[in-house]
Structure 1
Amino acid sequence: MSSMTVSEQANAGQAGEETVRKVIQPAWVRIMHWINAVAMIVMIMSGWQIYNASPLFDFQFSRSVTLGGWLGGGLLWHFAAMWVLMINGLLYLVVGLATGRFRRKLLPITPSGVASDLAKAATFRLSHRDLTTYNYVQKLLYAGIILVGIVVVLSGLSIWKPVQFQLLTAVFGGYDTARYVHFFAMASIVAFLIVHIALAVLVPKSLRAMIIGR
């Protein structure tokens, strides 16, 4: 017979439930997040190296922020990271949809909610106490970056194999237009990363949660 009283058992059960609730980011989210982060950084830096070989605009990226050393090297790094990002990203989408995480975390998104939270963020009144729930600005950013990620992959495929994926390339308006779409999608991801990192600096416990889950 257990030596614990009913009250003690109830308290122990409550403590166990609280421990479970403290898990903010499950292991699969953390693992896939960091794999995506590394792959995306490699793709961005190698992509800038590729861009420098045939610029779309009247500027080039500094060699200090590029990867590969030259066009061929940049392409090797880019394609290597591409497969990692595609496979890991696809798994992330499948698991996120199958577990209902995307529905719970990212929906609903309403214009009024976004406007309200943006106003609070602008005046530093947006609360980050409960990391288990995203505010409307976070929902919009995270849902948006998923869509941008899909666009950057598809436009990248249309640039990589414009003949084999000619229908996909046509959807983007042709090879040249696909390059611009790819560039601006990449720029959007860089902008997101800046905001994302700034949030991690301002709210350190969000970074801790993505490392240890709690």
Structure 2
Amino acid sequence: MPTAPEATHTVHLRPRNSHPRWLRLTHWLNAMAVLVMVTSGWRIYNASPLYGFNFPDSITLGGWLGGALQWHFAAMWMLVVVGLLYLMTNVLSGRLSRRFFPLSIKGFFQDLWSALRGRLGHAEVSHYNQVQRVAYLFVMLDITVLVISGLVLWKSVQFPLLRELLGGYDSARHVHFIAMSLLVTFFVVHLVMVALVPKTLWAMIVGHKERL
């Protein structure tokens, strides 16, 4: 008596979304805004140096003080609008709590030690390790400080409370410069990590890294 053929199951391959479209869009827009703000900010700094050095003109944007200010303010509004959209979407969708928490001091140093030895896994790019969580949360805070100190430098009289919280106008200049330096440091490290793990860049461009 013939036996019934065994049932077969068809597996449909589909891309795994590691980064939704809204995240990719706000990521690139924020990156563009930060790049414009930093390079134009260096030109503005050169007009009245805070420390004993100037930035080379070749890496600044604006050509002159007036042009740099126009670029800076345009990018500032873009960063504020897109940054708020990014933050609100993260909070309302629950992504902020899922991707960036929980945090622990022990977990952070364990992941940091693994990263320094090149043993930190990157199998799933949508999963943030403890070092990434701290770094991305720090960037959110750092950009907030940049915007607040920038408002003091731009409209010091209109924002007296912010000015006093930062210790005055001159102190706000130092805070703004330090926050900018920390942000540039993050970007440099971020680019190095992307170079070491190229699939993270691909995921941020197309939204998925592999098929399941």
Q: TM-score range by the shorter chain?
A: over 0.9
Q: 2:133 corresponds to which residue?
A: 139
Query: Of residues 184, 187, 192 in structure 2, which corresponds to 1:198?
Result: 192
Q: 1:108 corresponds to which residue?
A: 102
Query: Which amino acid counterpart does residue 199 of structure 2 have in structure 1?
Result: K
1:173 aligns with 2:167: yes
Q: 2:77 corresponds to which residue?
A: 83
Query: Which amino acid counterpart does residue 120 of structure 1 have in structure 2?
Result: S
Q: 1:52 corresponds to which residue?
A: 46
1:24 aligns with 2:18: yes
State the superposition RMSD in angstroms.
1.4
Query: Of residues 86, 93, 97 in structure 2, which corresponds to 1:92?
Result: 86
Runs of 4+ in structure 1 off by over 3 angstroms are 5-8
| CA distance in 2: counterparts of 1:52 and 1:108, whole angstroms | 42
Q: Deviations over 1:81-104 (max 9, x none)?
A: 011011000111111110011111
- Which protein is richer in helix relative to its size? 1
1:155 aligns with 2:140: no
| CA distance in 2: counterparts of 1:184 and 1:101, whole angstroms | 29
Using the TM superposition, give the Cα deviation of residue 129 of structure 1 relative to its aligned residue in structure 2, in angstroms. Answer: 1.2
Q: 2:65 corresponds to which residue?
A: 71
Using the TM superposition, give the Cα deviation of residue 132 of structure 1 relative to its aligned residue in structure 2, in angstroms. Answer: 2.0
| CA distance in 2: counterparts of 1:76 and 1:140, whole angstroms | 33
Gaps of 5+ in 2: 1-5
Gaps of 5+ in 1: none
Q: 1:210 corresponds to which residue?
A: 204
Q: 1:187 corresponds to which residue?
A: 181
Q: Choose between structure 1 and 2 for higher RCO, CA contacts under 8 A separated by at least 6 residues.
A: 2
Q: TM-score, normalised by structure 2?
A: 0.92
1:38 aligns with 2:32: yes
Secondary structure of the residue aligned to 1:29 is helix
Q: Work out the percentage of aligned pairs sharing the same amino acid.
A: 48
- Equivalenced residue count is 203
Q: 1:119 corresponds to which residue?
A: 113
Q: TM-score, normalised by structure 1?
A: 0.91
